Amino acid sequence: MNKLLVTGVATAAIALGVAAHSSSAAETMRVVPAPAVELPAASKPGVAVLAGGCFWGLEGVFDHVAGVKSVTSGYAGGAAATAHYEVVGSGLTGHAESVRIVYDPAKISYGELLRIYFSVATDPTQLNHQEPDDGSQYRGTVFAQNPAQAQLATAYIAQLNRVKAYSAPVVTTVETGKAFYPAEAYHQHFLARNPTYPYIVYNDLPKVAALKKLFPGVYRG
């Protein structure tokens, strides 16, 4: 689905359904248990790369998390030559729409970022799909930047499944050794620059609202 092509008819239909959808979407989000283990303390900024649906919403959520220094929308999982929006949209490149999060580990941990990710930023029970987008380019994946991240993410997914945090199994994957490529300039901070864009209002602002409601201690305006 090309998110930038929204017809007048679709825009009107979306506008009519925004209130109802925002309410129902917020109800599906929840605070999941924190990871049972954490990464060792570090003094240097950390990097997390996460995928799970449209990168606009992921970036919008983590832009509002205290301790996050920067968020960049982009692509991970495929080759540099195919890291372009129109090509990634084919679903054949191996890429997933992702965000690269640089964070201060003295203010927020990698495990807490994962907790927010699984609680409000994505539905981890959907395979190669996040409402309203379909395809492997919208898959839920933790792109671990080192073995410690991979171990923690794998253990956390097993923990969430063990305690049945959701009514269906978590299908989020963990991938290693995959480079991140920044997306085109017009995608960066799209939610912040276009808060009334119908796709944003309908699909992504409810995630930011859920972050504020469920994680008030780390939310920043």
**pTM (predicted TM-score):** 0.90
pLDDT surpasses 60 at 7: no
CATH topology of domain 8-214: Peptide Methionine Sulfoxide Reductase; Chain A (3.30.1060)
Q: Is the CB of residue 140 less than 8 Å from the CB of residue 172?
A: yes
Closest CA to 97 of 132, 169, 62, 49: 49
Considering only residues 162 and 13, tell me which one the structure prediction assigns the higher pLDDT. 162
Strand partners of residue 49: 100, 143
Q: Is the CB of residue 185 less than 8 Å from the CB of residue 2?
A: no
**What pLDDT does residue 4 have?**
57
**What pLDDT does residue 189 have?**
97
**What pLDDT does residue 2 have?**
59
Place of tokens 């990698």: 110
Looking at the chain, list the stretches that DSSP marks H as alpha helix, in order from N- to C-terminal side.
Answer: 8-28, 55-62, 85-88, 110-116, 147-162, 190-193, 198-199, 205-214
Considering only residues 90 and 12, tell me which one the structure prediction assigns the higher pLDDT. 90
Report the alpha-carbon distance of residue 219 to residue 213 in Å, rounded.
9
Domain boundaries, the chain: 8-214
Over residues 99-152, the pLDDT tens digits come to: 999 999 999 999 999 999 999 999 999 999 998 999 999 999 999 999 999 999
Q: Which phi and psi (to 5°) does residue 143 adopt?
A: -90, 90
Angle, CA 140 vertex, CA 137 and CA 143 arms, to 5°: 90
Over residues 146-195, the pLDDT tens digits come to: 999 999 999 999 999 999 999 999 999 999 999 999 999 999 999 999 99
Q: Is the CB of residue 77 less than 8 Å from the CB of residue 178?
A: yes
Q: Determine which helix (DSSP H) or strand (DSSP E) holds 182, and give its type and residue range.
A: strand 180-182
**What pLDDT does residue 134 have?**
96
Q: Which amino acid is at 43?
A: S
Lowest-confidence segment of 27-31, 71-75, 196-200 by average pLDDT:
27-31
Lowest-confidence segment of 21-30, 40-49, 102-111, 207-216 by average pLDDT:
21-30
Find the mean pLDDT for residues 64-78: 98
pLDDT surpasses 60 at 8: no
Name the maximum alpha-carbon separation found in the chain.
52
> Active-site positions?
54
